[in-house]
Amino acid sequence: MKDRTQKNPLVLIAGPCLLESLSLGLEVAEFLKEEAVCRGFQFVFKASFDKANRSCISSPRGPGLAKGLEMLAEIRNRVGVAVTTDVHECWQVREVASVADLIQIPAFLSRQTELLLTAARSGRPVNVKKGQFLAPEDADRIAEKLRAGGCGNYFITERGTSFGYRDLVVDMRSLALMRRAGHRVIFDATHSVQRPGSLGNSSGGDRSLVPVLARAAVAAGVDGLFMETHPDPDRAWSDGPCMLPLKEIPSLLDTLGAIYEAIVLG
C-alpha cells in the first residue's frame, strides 16, 4: 500500500442523515473515525440538526438548532472528530460556526447569495451541495460568491442531476469539469441514488448503487466522498433507502482506497 500521507488524503464526510439521538451519533462517529483514519482518509462527521426540506410535513426533522449543536459539540469533543451540519438560514450560521468545523449548504439553497456570503464570512470552510438543477459550470458562480465573502477554502459537492421524473442521474464529466475549473470536489454517493418523493411521503432510492458510483467518482479524481450511513438504514428517520449499512463501510473504504492509490497516486 502506498503512503497516502505524502499526498492530500481523500476526505470522507459521513454520518447519519439526521441526528436521531446522541447515542446514535456517538456510535456512528466512533466507528467511522476508526475505520476511516486507519485507511488514510481525512474524516468529518456529518449529521443534520434539521432536515428543512422533507417531502412530507409530518416527517421527522431532527432535534433543532440548540439541541442539535449541543449534541454535535459532545460528539466532536468525546470522539475527537471534525463535524459538519447544514445551515438553512443566515441567522443560523454564526451559531453553527461556533461548533462545526465545516459549514454545509444544502443543494436546494446552493444559489442563495446571502446565505453563501454569510457562510463565507464565518471563517469556517464551506461545503456547498451543488443543486440538482445546476450544470457543472454553474459551480463557478457559487465559488465567486464564496470568494466575495472571503472564503477560499470550500468544496463543491456533486449529487447528480434531476430531470423532474423522481430520479437523479450522475454525469461523471461534471466531476472533471469542476476540478478543471479549480474547485475541490466532493462526490455525494448516497444522495445520488435518491429517488425524490418516489415513496409518496418520502424519498426512495437504491443503496446497492452507492458503491458503483463511489468507485467511479474516485477513479475520476475527486477530492473526497460524502456518504450517509446508519446501523439500520431501514429504520432511519430520513433517507433510509439511500444510506449504506454501517457495517458495509469498511470494505467499501478498502476498495476506494485501492482505486485512489492505483489511479491517483500512480
In tens, the pLDDT along 24-35 reads 999 999 999 999
CA distance 254 to 10: 12
- Per-residue pLDDT of 152-174, as tens digits, reads 999 999 999 987 677 889 999 99
Residue span of the structural domain in which 87 resides: 4-264
Judge contact between 8 and 41, C-beta under 8 A.
no
Burial category of 244 from C-beta neighbours within 10 Å (exposed 0-12, middle 13-18, buried 19 and up): buried
Tally of structural domains, the chain: 1
Q: Which amino acid is at 59?
A: S
pLDDT tens sequence across 182-219: 999 999 999 999 877 555 555 667 899 999 999 999 99
The CATH number of the domain holding residue 68 is 3.20.20.70
Instruction: Kindly state the cell numbers that stand for 114.
Output: 446571502
Q: Where do runs of H (alpha helix) occur along the chain?
A: 22-37, 65-75, 90-97, 113-120, 139-148, 173-180, 210-220, 249-259
Residue 157 CA: distances (Å) to CA of 109, 139, 215, 232? 13, 10, 16, 25
**Weakest-pLDDT range from 121-125, 189-193, 239-243:** 239-243
pTM: 0.92
CA–CA gap between residue 155 and residue 158 (Å, rounded):
10
Cell numbers given for 122? 464565518
Average pLDDT value over all residues in the chain: 91
Q: Which amino acid is at 52?
A: A
For helices 22-37 and 249-259, the axis angle rounded to 10 degrees is 30
Q: Are 176 and 186 in contact (CB under 8 A)?
A: no
